[in-house]
A and B are shown apart, each in its own frame.
Chain A
Amino acid sequence: MTGSSEYQPPQNRSPQGQRLQDAWNHATTPVGLPELAWRPALAAQLSKSWPSAREEEWKYSPISQIQAYQWSPVADEVRFELPEGVEACRMSAVSGSVLDRVKSLMNIPPAHRFNAMAWIMDQDVWVIRVPRGLSPSAPLRVFAPRGSEGSWSCAAWILLVEAEAHLSVVEYYGPQASATSWGARFFLESGSAVEHLRVQSAASDSWGFAESIALVGENARYVQTQISSGGKMCREDAVVRLQGRGAEAHLDAVFMARQEQVLDHRTNIDHEVGDTQSHQLYKGLLADSARGIFNGRILIRRGAVGANAAQLSQNLLLSPQAEINTKPELQIDADDVKAAHGAAVGQLDAEHLFYLQSRGISEEKAKEVLLLGFALEALRGLRDPELLKIGNSQIEAEANLMLRTRKSEALASESSRSGKLP
């Protein structure tokens, strides 16, 4: 070939895309780490055009709307409440075996470019360490930045749970009037256990991209429960790698979307070795013209004999305009494994309604009880009473909000009808 110059990306970059790319170009590799293998690829993606709905990854997301805001990416602060005995230090201060574990966590690529921003902009993230055998009675509380007008907040943190240690984690994540990239990476050593509750309560004008990546070692148990209800659009990616025999992961979530909200949940579970288990229950409650997305990827690698993966996506559509896009993606490269998946989309069950009504519960109240029950099932993996309490009250508040708006809308349409009467 003659005269052909090097390929140039199309020049349809928006000001927003330009800003993100500039920030990206100026960002350096996180302190204390070698160049990360995934960085150039994701940087290249960012330097191309803004993602469009034509990309499979963003097919159902109104991602193009963000461009108009022209937010500047900034590193933001994470706040922690540490239980006794749990230690915190900056990534730049870690060394030795702790650094090795941080490196193995950091080598995993983020699911997409906006998640990558969390780790690139936040240069020197906090590393929280739970020493071997420690089981604090109080949960670790983590508060993601709320963001500020005009900025795209980026923040991330790392959790190392040493052998036989047990920890409960509550993450509060709720951007206000902005966009947020929020990342969490967990390293669970052998025999450790983590119960992780993430409460997403973004403001209705906000955009969120959150990710969790967990490496789960031998006989370690990772439970993640997500409750998502806020944001104009929030996408949450959960990546789990089951790396040791006897490792298990339980990923459960409920997303409750109203109006024009888009709540997008992606999971990616990798059974790297045999005798590992994963269980997922993703529950969508969608009202008005809200849209929910669930994409659940499961990979059972060659030789991972005795792996057991179960995935269930259950969705209730409360209005004819509400929408759910649910898709399992199973790749099974081993024999002698169990893998099951199912998806259900529907309305409230008429037999359930009759059963409750036959016990004196009005139709209205029966619907409330059933909706709440549907959502509360997402807490099935939690054992820590404190986390259960937080989860219960969050779901109750959000379900009530959903019912109240539905009721007031019904009343509004009622009064507009009666308004026509002379």
Chain B
Amino acid sequence: MSATSMEKPALLEVVDLHVNVQGKPVLKGLNLTIRPGEVHAIMGPNGSGKSTLSKVIAGHPDYEVVSGQVRYEVNFQMRDLLELEPDERAKEGVFLAFQYPVEVPGVSNRNFLRTSYNAICKHQGTEALSDAAFDQYLKSKMALVEMDEKFLDRGVNVGFSGGEKKRNEILQMAVLSPRLALLDETDSGLDIDALRIVSNGVNRLKSRHNAIVMVTHYQRLLDHITPDFVHVLAGGKIVETGDKSLALKLEEKGYDWLL
């Protein structure tokens, strides 16, 4: 067996996933395999279940998995991700950049990031950074998303503009360096400069060890972050998979030809 022909093992495997939201079926037999180093884009019309998929993977309690599997590689073994609490998933490297990041008044961004980073360090058996060392680390990550230090001592997302919230999500991604990053409509509400900054940040965080899944409405994000795979999610399952040219075709023709 030659090494070159061997397919990389999967990081995430979603098998025949059925999910209900408030008793209503939203995902109806979804299949998806993601390997380290890959960038996937999930596109699709409104209400097709795009956001549901990322929320389920992150472990939001409002989503009821009816059947199917979500398996995730931990220490070279595929584990049932659905058994893990949301914080345990994060500790194993799952990250969700929220479509609508919540505001948490009273908790400073700095404190939030440090608590989060230290929780993950502790889980991975590495020592927590001193406050000063963490600040230094944080500084380098802030440069990545061109964020001003004044955002650190404000409440998490409190009074942030839409674009600043999205940048803050990518800052968190940079700090936590996840293995699987789900970007849920990260491009929505961004002006052209913010889109460039956010995309640059994501591109620089991309490596052969991690995978990125972008859930998006628009082709324009894919001009900045090139996907290896483009999937069309419609009616609760993936109905078409292709390379980046599929996104261009969707832009031109819409979704109707697939439905």
A interface, CB within 8 angstroms of B: 349-352, 354-363, 365-366, 369-370, 372-377
State in angstroms the CA–CA spacing of A144 and B216 once bound together: 61
Contact A358 B86 (CB under 8 A): yes
B interface, CB within 8 angstroms of A: 58-61, 85-87, 89-91, 95-96, 98, 101-102, 104-107, 111-112, 115-116, 119-120, 123, 155, 172, 176
Contact B86 A357 (CB under 8 A): yes
Contact A360 B123 (CB under 8 A): yes
Q: Which of B90, B106, B176 contacts A372 (CB 8 A)?
A: B106
Contact B85 A357 (CB under 8 A): yes
Q: Which of B60, B105, B111 contacts A354 (CB 8 A)?
A: B60
State in angstroms the CA–CA spacing of A50 and B58 once bound together: 59
Residues of B within 8 A of A354 (CB): 59-61, 86
Most A CB atoms within 10 A — which of B58, B111, B119, B120?
B119
For residue B93, give the distance in angstroms from its CB to the closest CB of chain A: 10
Residues of B within 8 A of A352 (CB): 102, 104
For residue B98, give the distance in angstroms from its CB to the closest CB of chain A: 7
Contact B176 A363 (CB under 8 A): no
Contact A360 B90 (CB under 8 A): yes
Contact B106 A361 (CB under 8 A): no
Most B CB atoms within 10 A — which of A351, A358, A360?
A360
Residues of B within 8 A of A374 (CB): 105-106
State in angstroms the CA–CA spacing of A376 and B116 once bound together: 19
Known contacts A350-B61, A360-B90, A373-B107; A355 and B102 CB within 8 A of each other = yes
Q: Which of A350, A358, A363, A375 contacts B90 (CB 8 A)?
A: A358
Contact B106 A360 (CB under 8 A): no
State in angstroms the CA–CA spacing of A357 and B59 once bound together: 9
Residues of A within 8 A of B60 (CB): 354
Contact B87 A360 (CB under 8 A): yes
State in angstroms the CA–CA spacing of A361 and B114 once bound together: 10
Contact A365 B58 (CB under 8 A): no
From DSSP, what is the main secondary structure of chain A's interface residues?
helix
Residues of B within 8 A of A372 (CB): 106-107
Contact B59 A377 (CB under 8 A): no
- The closest CB in chain B to the CB of A350 belongs to B61
State in angstroms the CA–CA spacing of A369 and B123 once bound together: 18
Contact A376 B106 (CB under 8 A): yes
Contact B176 A359 (CB under 8 A): yes
Residues of B within 8 A of A351 (CB): 102
Contact A358 B115 (CB under 8 A): no
For residue A396, give the distance in angstroms from its CB to the closest CB of chain B: 11
Contact B105 A359 (CB under 8 A): no
Known contacts A350-B61, A354-B61; A362 and B87 CB within 8 A of each other = yes
State in angstroms the CA–CA spacing of A261 and B249 once bound together: 66
State in angstroms the CA–CA spacing of A351 and B58 once bound together: 13
Contact A360 B176 (CB under 8 A): yes
Q: Which of B86, B95, B115 contacts A369 (CB 8 A)?
A: B115
- Add 19 more A-B contacts to A360-B87, A372-B107 (CB < 8 A): A352-B102, A355-B98, A355-B101, A356-B112, A357-B86, A357-B90, A358-B59, A358-B90, A358-B95, A359-B87, A359-B90, A360-B119, A360-B176, A362-B87, A370-B104, A370-B107, A373-B106, A374-B106, A375-B106
State in angstroms the CA–CA spacing of A267 and B180 once bound together: 51
Residues of A within 8 A of B58 (CB): 358
Residues of B within 8 A of A375 (CB): 106
Residues of B within 8 A of A357 (CB): 59, 85-87, 90
Known contacts A357-B59, A358-B58, A361-B115; A369 and B107 CB within 8 A of each other = yes
Residues of A within 8 A of B116 (CB): 356, 359-361
Residues of B within 8 A of A355 (CB): 98, 101-102, 104
Contact A365 B59 (CB under 8 A): no
Residues of A within 8 A of B61 (CB): 350, 354
For residue A256, give the distance in angstroms from its CB to the closest CB of chain B: 14
Most B CB atoms within 10 A — which of A350, A358, A363?
A358
State in angstroms the CA–CA spacing of A239 and B70 once bound together: 60
Q: Which of B98, B101, B119, B155 contacts A361 (CB 8 A)?
A: B119
Contact A363 B106 (CB under 8 A): no
For residue B91, give the distance in angstroms from its CB to the closest CB of chain A: 5
Known contacts A351-B102, A358-B59; A373 and B155 CB within 8 A of each other = yes
State in angstroms the CA–CA spacing of A369 and B105 once bound together: 11
For residue B126, give the distance in angstroms from its CB to the closest CB of chain A: 13
- The closest CB in chain A to the CB of B86 belongs to A357
State in angstroms the CA–CA spacing of A365 and B104 once bound together: 15
Contact A369 B112 (CB under 8 A): yes
Residues of A within 8 A of B101 (CB): 355
- The closest CB in chain B to the CB of A351 belongs to B102
Contact B85 A373 (CB under 8 A): no
State in angstroms the CA–CA spacing of A316 and B87 once bound together: 24
- The closest CB in chain B to the CB of A374 belongs to B106
